[in-house]
Amino acid sequence: MSCIHDLDVDALRRQYALRNFVETGTHFGDSVQSALDCGFEHVYSCDLMEHVHDAACRRFAQNPRVSLHHADSIAFLREILPRLSGPTFFWLDAHFPDHYGYPCRPEHRFPLAEELRLIARHRPPTDVIACDDIRVVADPHNPAFTPGALERGGHAALVVPDVSIEMLAAPLAATHDWRVDLAGEGILLFEPRRA
Ligand SMILES: C[S@@+](CC[C@H](N)C(=O)[O-])C[C@H]1O[C@@H](n2cnc3c(N)ncnc32)[C@H](O)[C@@H]1O
């Protein structure tokens, strides 16, 4: 599980005049803090673990630029996408609740494909979207995936066999250029397509 520092988010923010930072998977709130430090006007994040959410609420209690939601990523995106105003950076980092000791419903395990479909449906093509931990996508066309590596590291449970990079990219392929960045643990990055 890598962190937002694996990308030059500030350069992306300036290049695309991004105003909002939207994150799935708050955890300790370190990327929320990085987004504030970068200068995003509004920061939205969600986590389905109550104690994680409560700790983040305490950490950012005094900050009117931060909005934290105790929700799974799909419910959270359904709620906020229609009311976001202005170009937005998405950091999609919510997966494997069981890895964090939370009982896992199948639809919460790796919801990335549905998250990307929702973004494509609700947002204009001005946003930048970064998806973390792409090394788990067991697709021979995924440069961040090394067959056997997760198993050798004792993380066989993190392998996602039923998703491909093409499937993830499809909803945004008409509006965004995309690539798999090998920084950290692999990041699928979508940038608005140049005219
Ligand atoms: C890798 S950590 C997030 C790290 C954080 N984004 C950062 O950059 O500092 C993943 C978090 O996602 C949460 N999570 C896992 N599956 C989720 C889901 N389906 N919806 C919402 N949160 C989820 C976990 O509880 C955990 O706190």
Q: Give me the domains of the chain, ranges plus CATH numbers.
A: 20-144+160-192 (3.40.50.150)
Each residue's pLDDT tens digit, 12-28: 999 999 999 999 999 99
Quick one: what percent of the chain has pLDDT higher than 70? 98
Query: Helix (H, G, I), strand (E, B), or coil: what is residue 82?
Result: helix
Q: pTM of whole model > 0.85?
A: yes
> What is the atom index within ligand 1 of the atom nearest the CA of 4?
8
Evaluate if residue 145 carries a pLDDT over 60: yes
DSSP-assigned beta bridge partners for residue 63: none
Task: Give yes or no for a contact between 133 and 190, defined as CB atoms under 8 angstroms apart.
Answer: no
The side-by-side arrangement of strands in the sheet containing 66-70 is 66-70, 42-47, 20-24, 88-92, 128-131, 187-192, 176-181
Q: Whole-angstrom Cα distance, residue 141 to residue 137?
A: 10
Task: Find the farthest-apart pair of alpha carbons in the chain and give their distance in angstroms, rounded.
Answer: 46
pLDDT digits (tens, 9 = 90+) for 161-185: 999 999 999 999 999 999 999 999 9
What is the pairing mode between strands 88-92 and 128-131? parallel
| CA-nearest residue, atom 11 of ligand 1 | 25
**Predicted pLDDT at 1:** 57
The angle at the Cα of 182, spanning 177 to 184, to the nearest 5 degrees, equals 120
Residues 115-142 have a mean pLDDT of 97
Asked whether 189 and 129 are in contact (CB, 8 A), the reply is yes
Instruction: Answer whether residue 195 shows pLDDT above 80.
Output: no
For residue 132, the ligand 1 atom closest to its alpha carbon is 1
pLDDT in tens, 29-45: 999 999 999 999 999 99
Instruction: Look at residue 105 in the predicted model and tell me its pLDDT.
Output: 86
Q: What is the pLDDT of residues 50-102, one digit of tens each?
A: 999 999 999 999 999 999 999 999 999 999 999 999 999 999 999 998 888 88
Question: What is the number of the ligand 1 atom nearest to the C-alpha of 47?
Answer: 22
Q: Are 17 and 44 in contact (CB under 8 A)?
A: no
Segment 102-124 shows an average pLDDT of 94
Q: How many C-alpha atoms does 173 have within 13 Å on its Cβ side? A: 7
- Residues in contact with ligand 1 (CB, 6 Å cut-off): 1, 3-4, 23-25, 27, 30-31, 46-49, 52, 72-73, 93-95, 97, 100, 102, 108, 111
Ordered alpha helix ranges (H), the chain: 9-15, 30-38, 50-59, 73-80, 106-109, 112-122, 149-152, 165-169
